Amino acid sequence: MKLLHETGWAATPATAEPPLDEEITCDVVVIGGGVGGMSAALRAAENGADVVLLESHTLGWGASSRNAGYVTNSIAADPELLRLLLKPERLRNLYRYAENSVHFAEEAIIRHNIECGFQHEGIVMAAVSKGQLRHARRNAKAMAEAGSSAEFVEGRAAGLPEGFLGGVREGVGGTLNPGEFVLGLRAATIASGVHVYEHTPASDVTDTGDQVIVATPDGRVRARKALLTTNAYSAGLSIAPKRLASPVWTSLVETEPVAAERLDEIGWTSRAPMVTLHMILESYRVTPRGTIVFGTRRLQTGRNPLPDRTPDQKVADDLVRGFHERFPGLRDVKAQSAWGGWIGMSSTWLPVAGEASDNVLYSLACNGHGFAQAQYVGHLLADHVAGKALHDDLAAIWHGRKRFGPSFVSGPALYVGWLADRASDRLAVLTK
């Protein structure tokens, strides 16, 4: 199995601006060139603003291109828990926001004519034990009450592989190749007239009250407004709210191609992409190439400045071991590559957006489910800095200038979660 280094994402056309080496002015500066930053920059330009987009590497270099490829209306926190903690109206608003995010991402594929292998197939939050199946039933009820289109499914009739007992099927969204999508969105961003400066990290952001000054290693940007779409890298900027994001490394593995007949034999006739209902989920999907991409399961933390890295061999081996346990009929299928990237986890485990200062807005629409949501929030933030009223969907996650509490995301806590999941797996085997 080949471990792919994070800096492997580099084979992109050199059509952006050269690194910034002077002082320039603009209306809006967007810091962070993931899908959220690109979407924000595109919308700000559509609104007539002169826009600068700064990215420390290449547009889409981070989690935007390294994720599992799910376009989902999932919210990171457990639906049953959210039902207990949040008022019904707020929960309904969150699920409306999440579903609209999916539709926005789907429309972006069409709008920018991006070839990325998108498959509109929904997603199944799958149960691998009787306890998880009961949990799935409760989650389906909570989500239905919140207005989600999800439904409870059970048994082999759902077209799930042997060993997957059922779960919650989300009818919206699907899967795609995130790298291909990012390349398409990057091309659209550059073609839009946005001034894109790659390999230009923001080292400091200052709001003077009448303008924002962004320092880079060799130049500066003066702007009327700034948007922070830096996610896991937010702690590297002093203006970002304290404890906005806890960086978490997540790993993924891809197998060699698997014959379609073999997938039918193990019962995966629906080919539905799945995430399990463990404390730390596992994800499994079939790609258009006939390979299987799977990941998460075990997470690792980090601190800014975040290092370049390859997946941990032990973590990759654990992922492969988990794959063979979930799919005993595919035990001979070999893993061919592993990769990973940094995602940002909020202390609330919910997507958030707000104000870092009078002229600087931020978003953290990730928590491992942000591919669609980050794009949508970036779009809405661009409208807000243009003077439009706070959109209802942006209001659903709006944090304003409230402080963030301590995060429960830590190395020891994530390891305990992994241990608890493995204990529940062993218990499920014993109680079959």
- Each domain of the chain, given as residue ranges in start order, spans 2-430
What is the model's pLDDT at position 23?
Answer: 96
Distances (CA, A) of 232 to 123, 202, 236, 339: 25, 14, 9, 17
Give 47's DSSP letter.
T
Distance CA 337, CA 252 (A): 8
Query: Within 13 Å and on the Cβ side, how many CA atoms surround 211?
Result: 10
Do residues 60 and 34 touch, judged by C-beta distance below 8 A? yes
- pLDDT at position 120: 93
Angstrom distance (rounded) from CA 35 to CA 41: 10
Q: Is 2-430 a domain of CATH 3.40.50.720?
A: no
Residue-level pLDDT at 225: 98
Evaluate whether 409 touches 303 at the Cβ level (below 8 Å): no
Q: What tokens does 290 get? A: 């006939």
Looking at residue 127, its pLDDT comes to 97
With beta carbons less than 8 A apart as the criterion, state whether 284 and 254 touch.
no
Q: What is the pLDDT of residue 14?
A: 53
Compute mean pLDDT per 10 residues along the chain, 432 residues long, and list them. 58 68 96 97 98 95 92 87 92 95 97 96 95 96 91 90 95 94 95 95 97 97 98 93 94 97 97 96 96 96 85 95 97 96 90 97 88 97 97 97 92 94 92 76
How many angstroms separate the CA atoms of 104 and 97, rounded? 10
Tell me if the pTM is above 0.85. Answer: yes
Which residues does 133 contact at the CB level (< 8 Å), separation at least 6?
127, 154, 165, 166, 167
Start-to-end CA distance of the chain, whole Å, equals 33
pLDDT of residue 202: 97
Task: Supply the pLDDT for residue 6.
Answer: 47
Q: What is the pLDDT of residue 370?
A: 87
